[in-house]
A and B are shown apart, each in its own frame.
Chain A
Amino acid sequence: MIALSIFLIPLLTSFLLFNSKTGNAAKTALTSLILMLLVAIGGRVATAYGLTGTLSFPLISSIGFSFSLLWDGPAFLMVLLTIIAGLGIVYFSQDKEIHSSNRFYGWIMMMLSAMIGAFLAGDALLFYLCYEWALIPIFFLILKWGHGEHLSKVTMRFFLYTLFGSLFMMLSLLYVHQSMATPSFDMSAMWAAGKALTAGEQGWVFAGLFIAFAVKMPVFPFHSWQPSTYDHAPIQGTMLLAAIMLKMATFGLVRWAIPMTAVGIAENGHWAILLSVISVVYASFMALTQKRLKMMIAYSSVAHVGMISAGILSNTDQGTVGGLFEMFSHGILAVAMFVVYAIIEKRYGHDRMQEMGGIRTAAPAFAFLTFILVMCNVALPFTSGFVGEFLLLQSLAHYSLVYTAIAGLSVILGAAYMLRGFQAMFLGGNTHAFEALSRNEKNILAIAVLLVIVLGVYPHSLLQLIQNVY
């Protein structure tokens, strides 16, 4: 029931928003998200005292499709991330002018619902449906509220690319499904059927899954839709994509790919790990040459995600747990970094870093908070970025020390581009009028920084939670 209500609250909110003409849409969305947070945390506590959080009822029994939601540690973690990131996004937008705001927040809430569905899904088909369903809200968010001269082209490219990628996942899931005596999309049945396949078959099944996930994450060379989409999307859309949506893919690796095809990955999945590692370095190089802040953050995100993918695919405890932890950390960081971008862009009217300078003198508190976020981005110890990234590298080292060294280049390159950007924007002697941060802007950055540090200094509870499967 807990899982179901967390899935339904945002969905109902979105219907409510679509059908109401007046009222404060942002407040409605915010209230709904706070309710979700309370239910989620209360539900987690209640589960500890024996309440059943999960739910399953058959929908189409002939193919073994059931509406089944899980409520284990990883699922809870991702739901928590969705809610927190959602709160951040809505809270940040609250004091901004947005046209047709009812529809805007309606799509956001629907998107959250779809993604929560994917995170909670205990049924492969349900996972797939939610995974695809999430595309509709984001498509409209980008198309109607985005900007830039190639908006429709970019939106179409994003939509078709990701839709096309997912088809491979469908094929893989169907292949596993049809291999069963009594076909079922239920998670444990799918896991068992996947494990029963030969290593060769598993390799192919994994390939299909990975291509779908690689497009969504994205991983080199399937990433080319991402920078322009991030760029054209409204900032809230970019946050949704970077903070939560791509996590459906990395979470898919943990929830579906690894349990079903671990042997296939170990024997025939070498290429996927290699691509992930290449992705880390390639994206770091891309970030290094960007002149614009938003693009730099976008590529830096690709680098982080490549690390998550490589670490998870190395298939050790540290990889899985570190991957999930890093998903959470990266989600918070992504929202915060794009908030930083939005703050600066609003005041300068552009985001070309080399044409700025001296923000620190005008806004020391903003500079201080941003610096900590930058440090989290370069995985400095005692920030959440370090815990995840170190565990992932550790996992990769079990697979190959050479790959670890290559992926580890991002340790150097990340510092280079992040500090270069920070220096250009915040340091130096220039002075440019810089309007003080609004209350919302200040609060959201402060909370993000607090989370990032608390999770970095004391990650223990969250790590235990992640390992608390079932």
Chain B
Amino acid sequence: MEKLVALIPLFPLLGFLYITFFGKNQSKGTAGAIATALVALSFVLAILVFTTQLHGAHATFVKVLDWIHVGSFQVDLSFVVDPLSSLYILFITGVGSLIHLYSIGYMHDDEGFHRFMSYLNLFVFFMLLLVLGDNLLLLFVGWEGVGVCSFMLIGFWYKDHANNDAAKKAFVMNRVGDLGLILGMSLIFVQCGSLNYNDLMIGGSAIGHLGKWATLGAVLLFIGAMGKSAQFPLHTWLPDAMAGPTPVSALIHAATMVTAGIYLVARFSDLFTISEGASQLVTWAGVITAVMGASIALTQNDIKKVLAYSTVSQLGFMFAALGMGAYTIAVFHVVTHAFFKALLFLGSGSVIHAMGGEQDIRRMGGLKSHMPTTYWTFLVGTIAIAGIFPFAGFFSKDQILAHAMENNTVVFALLMLAAAGTAFYMFRMFYLTFHGEFRGTHEQEHHLHESPKTMTIPLVVLAIASTVGGFMGFPHAIGHAMHIEHALDHFLSGSIELTHSHMSVATEIALALISMAIAGMMILFAYNIYIKKATPVLEDAEINSPLHRLLWKKYGMDELYDNLFRKPIDALSAGLYHWVEQKMLLGMVDGSGDAAKGIGRILQPLHNGQIVTYLLAIIVGLIALIFAL
């Protein structure tokens, strides 16, 4: 059964090639159907592969092609099927096919429809390579591949340079992380002699040969993860990436690609476990990102920007969990987050679609009655991310919090703070969008409508997944009685380090109640402000309080980076070019050239203008010299 795994990335690749080269003759409907069907086909295979793993978890390797064999450097195009990769391919293809389906409706009127579907297919191909590769180098192929697809899709509407700038920023910032990953790979190869997971961790333990370099190796890999998964300080590209069409934000910048960093760290849990320092770094980067993202999200008024900062913040939760050794819980949160965040993004797309491209929640309101399916599914997503029982987000987030409580009180307190913020900003956005009076133009109000079926079906499916998706990871307290506690944990322990917990049932329940109470209070708080008092949200020019401004300006990080890196580097290049390259180096050469010309003038009689004679003379002279020796 596992042999079939090679077909899983193949289908979307075929879709990309077909649409790129033969798609022009196809109608939009056909092209969209082909793209969607191929990913759905991969999903069916992924289910088969996943089920096999479920019946007996074991790592299987499927080699496709000899790739790079140079001396001791041996890397193949080869896949690994184990619990971790089979779980990842399951939700990538599952959520992926839904978003493909949704795109058929969402992008229907776009002239670049074919191009869009083909890029989505290519993205899925690379994302699958990333998680299926049985070695770090193949992971890197997927890693860079999804980066390029992300670039192409953020800048999909390339006629507007604002989109292109966002795309370029995403690519270049990711490359900062990629350099870390490249160096990490180099270090691992130099010290351990292999890049294959089987040698390093699964079948062998060569990763241990890193010895005193373990912390450096782990930190370098983590730098890669920071870029891809938008962790502080490499997070600023993700909110800008919202320039891409909304399905892209849902698929790439929420559900799949940005969780590649979590995959990487989880995959190397053996390495991070032996490196206390690196794990501390991961934890704190995660915590800072979680709090920072949530705090910025409180003040944003663009529906997609709120969701983007929310993603940044949720990814921070996942890294905090990874850093504390809760690898399986982090992966659990990846999966539930994929459900509810894809749902929320697609929901926001449905709203934007109805609003004729408007993204400012200050211009919305009262959409509930116009688009009921979007409203109800969005509500499910909002509750799920806020962490209310029994929706998906509750289970995964609560276990991260529980783990933090056991490990580090400060981390716990900060994550609680971020979780409280999450409940508030999500419901703030929810109320402003769907409740109250409509605040847009008459024209927009006229245009309001529920989205077509291709868009609402994915919303409903994802809403169901966001409701029941958490059941795969029941915490001890609830699951014990039903003998299904930590089902996901145990499954994943076939690939990565199991999360250890010693928390009593009573504490677990108390924590769950407290965190839900806080979330509930936050929701009421938001209700009170935006519904009961119907406080109008400040226009940009009215934002005067320093703290509000700081958050609204995203802590000024974009400006800071501009002044700290982009401008100085450009100035340095220009300066080097002018002073060193032109004045110094060229000046020196031409100086000596002029001297040569002077000598040439003295030897004018010999100079018959024939450079060949010159050269022959030089060569003959040299041969004579050799003879003389």
Contacts and interface: CB of A to CB of B under 8 A. Distances in A.
Q: Is the interface of A mostly helix, strand, loop or mixed?
A: helix
A397 B164 contact: no
A289 B576 CA distance: 9
| Chain A: interface size category | 35 or more
B168 A420 contact: yes
B627 A63 contact: yes
A221 B584 CA distance: 10
B570 A289 contact: yes
B536 to A, nearest CB: 36
Contacts of B569: 285, 288
Given A132-B615, A390-B182, A419-B171, A170 B68 contact: no
B514 interface: no
Contact of A160 (B145, B175, B183, B593): B593
B155 A135 contact: no
B141 A412 contact: no
B581 A423 contact: no
Contacts of B590: 157
A288 B570 contact: yes
Given A397-B186, A427-B155, A463 B70 contact: yes
Contacts of B71: 316-318, 321, 467
A427 B186 CA distance: 35
B262 to A, nearest CB: 21
Contacts of A1: none
Given A157-B593, A419-B172, A286 B148 contact: no
Nearest to B585: A224
A282 B68 contact: no
Interface stretch (A257-265, A342-350, A398-406): A398-406
A460 B161 contact: no
Contact of A382 (B145, B155, B570, B586): B145
A157 to B, nearest CB: 6
B109 to A, nearest CB: 18
A105 interface: no
Contacts of B576: 282, 285-286, 289
Interface in A372-396: 375, 380-382, 386-387, 390-391, 393-394
A221 B587 CA distance: 12
Q: Which of A125, A321, A380, A416 has the most CB of B within 10 A?
A: A416
B585 A393 contact: no
Interface in A262-312: 282, 285-286, 288-290
Nearest to A464: B69
Interface in B121-147: 137, 140-141, 144-145
A404 B165 CA distance: 29
Q: Is the interface of B mostly helix, strand, loop or mixed?
A: helix
A122 interface: no
| Chain B: interface size category | 35 or more
A54 interface: no
B572 A401 contact: no
Contacts of B572: 285
A317 B72 contact: yes
Q: Which of B69, B189, B581, B619 has the most CB of A within 10 A?
A: B581
B148 A411 contact: no
Contact of B172 (A390, A405, A412): A412
A170 B137 contact: no
Interface string B565-581: 00001101110110001
Contact of B577 (A63, A156, A286, A360): A286
B145 A360 contact: no
Contacts of B189: 394, 397
A139 B160 CA distance: 45
A278 B155 CA distance: 33
A322 interface: yes
Contacts of B68: 387, 391, 459-460, 463
Interface in B351-379: none
Interface of A: 62-63, 125, 129, 132, 135-136, 139, 153, 156-157, 159-161, 163, 170, 174, 177-178, 221, 223-225, 228, 282, 285-286, 288-290, 316-318, 321-322, 358, 360-361, 375, 380-382, 386-387, 390-391, 393-394, 397-398, 401, 404-405, 408-409, 411-412, 415-416, 419-420, 423, 426-429, 458-460, 463-464, 467
